Chain A
Amino acid sequence: MQQMTTNAADARGIPKCPTGIQGLDEITNGGLPKGRATLICGGAGSGKTLLATSFLINGAERFGEPGVLVTFEENGDEIASDVASLGFDLPGLADEGKLFVDYVRIERSEIEETGEYDLEGLFVRLDHAIRSTGAKRIALDTIESLFSGLSNANILRAELRRLFRWLKDKGITAVITAERGEGTLTRQGLEEYVSDAVILLDHRVTEQVSTRRLRVVKYRGSHHGTNEYPFLIDRHGLSVLPVTSLGLTHRASMERLPSGVRELDDMLGGQGYFRGSTVLVSGTAGTGKTSLAAHFTDAACRRGERVLYFLFEESPLQLVRNMRSIGIDLQPWVDNGLLHFLADRPSRAGLESHLALMFQSVRDFKPSVTVVDALTNLLTVGTPNDVRAMLMRVIDYLKVNEVTGFFSSLTPGKYESEETEAGVSSLMDTWIVLTIQEVQRQRRREIRVLKSRGMAHSNRVHEFQLTDHGLRLLSEPGPDIRATGGG
């Protein structure tokens, strides 16, 4: 009910101004509050300037809204070269009259203060810039610099208060950036003046891996996502991930996909996995996780479906070679374009980069099956909680697009520990565990289905072998004791 009223308010009131930044408009239900000011705070290098500039450039290029960029720290040339690497043409937009860049430089050592003054000069400049471009958007980056340039904080505060009211009266959508303070959102307490919306950016480096996060701290009169969302700065600019506040509303397909191993299909209610479901295969090293993935991949490609295969441990060539030894040849599928490998060292980038890559490649390649081999490799670049949060987003995205997700997970040590996977297994619809037992100095491979939601599945542990015709169960799973998986 609460939800409905806020959404209704969104539809009725609070007009939004789209940022054009991928993901940000989704979590803010359409963008920043139109005609109001939004405060963007964060530490040095957290991406404030880029967010502010992207907001203006997208406005000018895509939404027909000219903008004014008032920069207090970098001059116009510096900003232009910063964003040129992201494909933005700032001087071009300025020439077309769609963007006005005003560099406000204030050097305390050059200025003597005596007696009363106000900031009418700044108002005149802003007014002139807004009028000459017909601006609908403005960004002030970073207005707090005034505090280091001018000594009379009382005048400054009064003038800033007047400035923000003036901008509101003009009905211009403003973005104000500010440095994060100790224990406060901004160093100068600007959140007191700009209170319609506040977005916090964060850049953490944990164990040499950097993670950027964005959070909407406040959004007056609007429903918004409250999580910390990872965001990414790459050659396409800034994007906030995920594109999901989807919840559990995706369709549940009744269609079944063969696993590629007939006996395993038998164990899974006779038909295999559900389309659009998620499958976790866990086991210690060398238990056959990748073989099972290869079977499923091969089966999908034989049906003419596309498979996207993320590989963190070995090269595609190596994997193709190894799978030939169990009679699976994936090369033809690579050649005809049905199978696409993405091999990457997990440590090359932070979690959010991997997440972004996954989103982008699933979006571009449009696979019907996505394999992640192995999920646990990502634990080297993030804490279990981070990985779990990331995985949840990947799974949401896959499910909404009805992509079946196949994840392998390496269980550390010699013996299986069900606890290790407990964190991620709850996100999975089907969980298959592979083990190796030593029985009478013989290694004995075993497979069992720990859970499989929505289907009657085998409850028994089955012995299997990796033969040159692939993975084969030694006993017919046949009519054994079955359990119906609930969740």
Chain B
Amino acid sequence: MQQTFPAQAPPDPESFVLRLYVAGQTPKCMRAFSNLKRICEQYLTNRYQIEMIDLLGNPALARGDQILAVPTLVRRMPEPVKKIIGDLSNTQRVLVGLDLSIDAV
């Protein structure tokens, strides 16, 4: 139900701890996951950890992170917590949402 990518804990304190909330394996959710992986590989190489949570199996978790929309990406670290909702198809908006500008990378 919960999957973490990459499997090992991030060594870098500057690294991004991301959580992707989905509800079942819908096309939208799968699209969001592959978009996210692509963006992370490109802009956050070795500095990210993605945890995917399927709310259908863990409905109680929706409350903690105030999840309404699906898919929702939550940037848990670095703080402050940020949220991006949608299938993450617009890379530019995702980078803005994560506080990553292209020139900073």
Contacts and interface: CB of A to CB of B under 8 A. Distances in A.
Interface string A101-126: 01011100011111111111111110
B68 A106 contact: yes
Interface size class of B (residues with CB under 8 A): 35 or more
A127 interface: yes
B56 A117 contact: no
A121 B87 contact: no
Contacts of B17: none
Most buried by A among B81, B85, B93: B85
A123 B67 CA distance: 10
Interface in A170-210: none
B62 A115 contact: no
Contacts of B82: 110, 112
B42 interface: no
Contacts of B46: none
A138 B84 CA distance: 29
A80 to B, nearest CB: 17
A112 B69 contact: no
A243 interface: no
Interface in B74-97: 80-90, 93-94, 96-97
B49 interface: no
Contacts of A119: 68-70
Contacts of B23: 120-121, 123-124
Contacts of B55: 120-121, 124
B28 interface: yes
Contacts of B60: 128
B70 A121 contact: yes
A90 B68 CA distance: 24
Contacts of A150: 68-69, 85
Given A117-B69, A118-B28, A119-B69, A112 B63 contact: no
B38 to A, nearest CB: 13
Contact of A111 (B32, B83, B94): B83
Contacts of B69: 117-122, 150
B21 interface: yes
Nearest to B98: A112
A46 to B, nearest CB: 26
Contacts of B83: 110-112
A150 B66 CA distance: 14
A123 B56 CA distance: 10
B59 interface: yes
B28 A116 contact: yes
B89 A115 contact: yes
Nearest to B22: A120
B86 A124 contact: no
A102 B63 contact: yes
Given A121-B23, A121-B72, A124-B23, A115 B90 contact: yes
Given A120-B23, A124-B23, A115 B86 contact: yes
Contacts of A117: 28, 69-72, 85-87
B97 A114 contact: yes
A292 B62 CA distance: 70
Contacts of A127: 59
A121 B68 contact: yes
B61 to A, nearest CB: 9
B84 A111 contact: yes
Interface in B23-61: 23-24, 28, 31-32, 35, 55-56, 59-60
B87 A114 contact: yes
B63 A115 contact: no
Contacts of A115: 31-32, 35, 86-90
A125 B60 CA distance: 7
B94 A114 contact: yes
A145 to B, nearest CB: 11
Given A114-B90, A121-B23, A125-B59, A105 B66 contact: yes
Interface in A67-108: 102, 104-106
Contacts of B94: 112, 114
A114 B88 contact: yes
B89 A114 contact: yes
A120 B22 CA distance: 9
Contact of B93 (A102, A113, A116, A124): A113
A114 B70 contact: no
A26 B82 CA distance: 49
7 contacts: A112-B93, A113-B85, A113-B86, A116-B87, A119-B68, A120-B23, A120-B69
Kindly list the 7 A-B residue pairs having the minimum CB-CB distance in the complex, ordered from nearest.
Answer: A112-B97, A128-B59, A115-B86, A115-B87, A115-B89, A114-B93, A121-B67
Interface of B: 21, 23-24, 28, 31-32, 35, 55-56, 59-60, 62-63, 66-72, 80-90, 93-94, 96-97
Given A112-B94, A116-B86, A122-B68, 9 more contacts: A104-B68, A106-B66, A114-B89, A114-B97, A115-B31, A115-B89, A118-B70, A121-B70, A125-B62
